[in-house]
């Protein structure tokens, strides 16, 4: 059974993966609350991350049917944009429990951590914030570049936060993962309070019937600047970062029509501000 060639199986995901290789990690309700179950699998001399919708009997917090739908959505997003900063989808295998998404295994650490660890100097979150400035700006620039490309293809960020970012501190590379809830847009908020972290969410993501579009993604990207750079300015008194904060301030305006008009314009202004910062420090 080859993880990269199989297209379907009558086995459950755990049984199939055990036969196909060695499961060295399991990510279930102990590490996530979506109901999905994922596996680290070593097979054919390579490591893979395999994501499944979990058990059909588990309906919390989403139904199994909904989780399957989001996994299928993730395959469409992967087909829409092949980018080195995105975790690469290698194969999809149909099983009795829904699709198994076979991704490359990515080295690195999840930047998002529980609230209680956001002040812990040993956490990936704090270490990421304390990277050398040029390295931190380069990583955030990759996040913004990918989202500009996704918006150009009609995809709107939903449920994006630091828990969707992995950073390889040794090789200075960032990867974005778990973008299953991104949607083709624009669309209307059909939930009220949408999925996501309040630290990164736009006002319209709390209002049922509000329009969700590229202006929402612009807001979320602006919050990335605030989350990872504001403390640095306050602690270090780095006035050179002011131009970057001004990009965030406009991105995060409550009035949607006064934000940056598009992710492309946001990205251009970010890049201009980074260049100004580089000359100043």
> Kindly report the CA angle at 265 between 205 and 250, in degrees rounded to 5?
55
pLDDT at residue 238, rounded to an integer: 60
pLDDT at residue 166, rounded to an integer: 97
pLDDT at residue 240, rounded to an integer: 67
Describe the crossing of helices 242-251 and 263-280 by its angle, rounded to 10 degrees: 160
Q: Is 111 left (phi over 0), alpha (psi -120 to 50) or beta?
A: alpha
List phi, psi (to 5°) of 44.
Answer: 55, 35
Residues comprising the chain, all counted: 281
Q: List, in sequence order, every residue forming a beta bridge with 27; answer none if it has no partner.
A: 38
Q: For the chain, 281 residues long, give each residue's pLDDT as a single digit of tens.
A: 689 999 999 999 999 999 999 999 999 877 677 889 999 999 989 999 999 999 998 877 789 999 999 999 999 999 999 999 999 999 999 999 999 999 999 999 999 999 999 999 999 999 999 999 999 999 999 999 999 999 999 999 999 999 999 999 999 999 999 999 999 989 999 999 999 999 999 999 999 999 999 999 999 999 999 999 987 777 765 666 789 999 999 999 999 999 999 999 999 999 999 998 877 66
Structure tokens at 43: 């097979």
- Concatenated DSSP letters of 70-116: HHHHHHHHHHH---TTBPPEEEEEEETTEEEEEEE---SEES---GG
Whole-model pTM: value is: 0.94
pLDDT at residue 1, rounded to an integer: 66
pLDDT at residue 29, rounded to an integer: 73
Q: Mind listing the domains of the chain with CATH numbers?
A: 13-104 (3.30.200.20), 109-280 (1.10.510.10)
**Integer CA distances (angstroms), 173 to 35, 116, 129, 162, 227, in order:** 29, 26, 14, 15, 19
Rg (CA), the chain: 19
Q: Which residues of 36-52 are buried (b: 16+ CB within 10 A; e: fewer)?
A: bbbbbbebeeebbbbbb
């Amino acid at each position: 059974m080859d993880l990269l060639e199989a297209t379907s199986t009558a086995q459950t995901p755990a049984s199939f993966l055990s036969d196909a290789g060695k499961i060295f990690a399991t990510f279930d309700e102990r590490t996530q609350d979506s109901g999905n179950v994922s596996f680290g699998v070593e097979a054919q001399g390579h490591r893979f991350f395999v994501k499944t919708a979990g058990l059909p009997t588990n309906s919390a917090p989403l139904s199994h049917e909904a989780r399957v739908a989001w996994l299928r959505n993730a395959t469409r997003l992967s087909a829409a944009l092949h980018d080195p900063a995105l975790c690469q989808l290698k194969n999809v295998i149909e099983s009795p429990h829904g699709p198994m998404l076979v991704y490359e295994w990515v080295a690195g650490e999840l930047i998002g951590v529980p609230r209680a660890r956001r002040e812990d100097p040993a956490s990936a979150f704090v270490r990421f914030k304390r990277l050398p400035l040029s390295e931190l700006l380069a990583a955030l620039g990759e996040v913004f570049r990918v989202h500009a490309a996704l918006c150009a293809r009609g995809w709107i960020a939903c449920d994006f936060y630091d828990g969707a970012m992995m950073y390889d501190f040794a090789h200075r590379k960032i990867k974005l993962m778990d973008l299953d809830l991104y949607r083709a847009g624009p669309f209307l908020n059909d939930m009220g309070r949408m999925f996501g972290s309040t630290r990164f969410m736009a006002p319209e993501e709390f209002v049922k019937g509000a329009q969700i579009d590229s202006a929402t993604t612009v807001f979320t990207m602006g919050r990335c600047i605030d989350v990872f750079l504001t403390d640095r300015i306050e602690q270090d008194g780095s006035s050179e970062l002011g131009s970057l904060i001004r990009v965030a301030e406009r991105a995060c305006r409550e009035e949607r029509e006064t934000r940056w008009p598009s992710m492309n314009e946001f990205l251009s202004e970010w890049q201009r501000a980074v260049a100004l910062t580089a000359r100043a420090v």
